[in-house]
Amino acid sequence: MNNRPTWQERPTLFGLTLKGFTLTVIVLVMIYPIYVVILTSLSTASAVTAAGGLVTLPTDLSLDAYRELFGGGVVTRAVLVSTGVTLVGTTVSLGLTILAAYGLSRTNSLFHRPLLFLFLLTFLFTPGMIPTYLMVRELGLIDSYWSLILPSAISAFNLVVMRAFFMNIPGEVIDSARIDGAGDFRILGRIVLPMSKGVTAVIGLFYAVGYWNAFFNAVLYINDNSKWPLQLILRQYVQQGMDLVPNTRTYDSAAGALPPNLAIKMAIIVVALIPVLIIYPFVQKHFTKGVIIGAVKG
């Protein structure tokens, strides 16, 4: 496969070797721990015990940890909850962020600076947990799925990054559209967004990952267990404080020895990775080069 553009010179052997070497080292340094994590998640209790923790050599493999995680009756519902919250949340967040980022991208527009500061300050000053809780409660959102979305729907970081990309689009393109009488909604939809697929995909990914892995909002705002998202349900399997509740399973826990804590912890990490593994290729697809070409020439 040769993707090299025709104008680009052939790489030198030295350059190619150096690059190959660097990348190989990076990949090895990264892939080894990932291998350890996945292997541990697939190990039995005795394998984890023999290793005294993380497993580095495959000895005794099993799917016990995953079976334990997904064997309970409550997980299916939680997968639906998490998927729904992630889809709706990402749509809401991405949509509002795009609108606001574009709304603030014209440096001479009305109120542009104070508004931008209002968003920036949220990045610097964080509200306390209890006041936020009381606000969510005041709005009647306790035990509502919206409490998992609205309080953290806007990330100032994402907004500012997106705005920077919008501002990078050559002003002439937008000005000429304005002269042609196009409104800002039209400009955003017809010109700016098609030229910003890369950053849109990235910010969408950031939001989606955030929603998928979030559990703390649910801890605070969702009392009804049937509405818990997947990450919170999964976290229950990592029992750290067993000694605080002595003998909850008194007398009879022998029947099925609990699967090893560590394998389950690792399996939960693997589960957190899954959506990113699924989404990332689509994100990367939008990193296609040359989308700007036609526009700038005009």
Near other proteins in 15-34, by CB under 8 A = 15, 19, 22-23, 26-27, 29-31, 33-34
Nearest approach, Cβ of 28 to other proteins (angstroms)? Answer: 10
Q: Is the CB of 36 or the CB of 191 nearer to other proteins?
A: 36
Could you count the other beta carbons within 10 Å of the beta carbon of residue 180?
9
How many residues does the structure list for the chain?
Answer: 298
Near other proteins in 62-91, by CB under 8 A = 68, 71-74
Query: Cβ distance 166 to 192 under 8 Å?
Result: yes
CA distance 19 to 21: 5
Q: What is the CA radius of gyration of the chain?
A: 25
Contacts of 113 (CB under 8 A, 6+ apart): none
Does residue 241 touch other proteins according to CB under 8 A?
yes
H runs (alpha helix) in 143-196: 156-168, 171-179, 184-187
Near other proteins in 199-238, by CB under 8 A = 199, 201-202, 205, 213, 216, 219-220, 223-226, 228, 232-233, 235-238
Does residue 57 touch other proteins according to CB under 8 A?
no
CA distance 44 to 222: 34
Choose, by CB under 8 A, the member of 79, 88, 177, 291 that binds other proteins.
291
Near other proteins in 153-172, by CB under 8 A = 153-154, 157, 159-161, 164-165, 167-168
Does residue 133 touch other proteins according to CB under 8 A?
yes
Nearest approach, Cβ of 191 to other proteins (angstroms)? Answer: 14
Choose, by CB under 8 A, the member of 13, 14, 126, 298 that binds other proteins.
126
Choose, by CB under 8 A, the member of 36, 63, 79, 193 that binds other proteins.
36
Q: Is the CB of 38 or the CB of 83 nearer to other proteins?
A: 38
Contacts of 275 (CB under 8 A, 6+ apart): 86, 208, 209, 212
Choose, by CB under 8 A, the member of 42, 48, 85, 174 that binds other proteins.
48
Query: Cβ distance 275 to 208 under 8 Å?
Result: yes
Nearest approach, Cβ of 128 to other proteins (angstroms)? Answer: 5
Does residue 43 touch other proteins according to CB under 8 A?
no
Which tokens sit at 92?
A: 């809401």
Does residue 127 touch other proteins according to CB under 8 A?
yes
For residue 2, what is the DSSP state? -
> How many residues of this chain bind other proteins (CB under 8 A)?
158
CA atoms within 13 A on the CB side of 126: 5
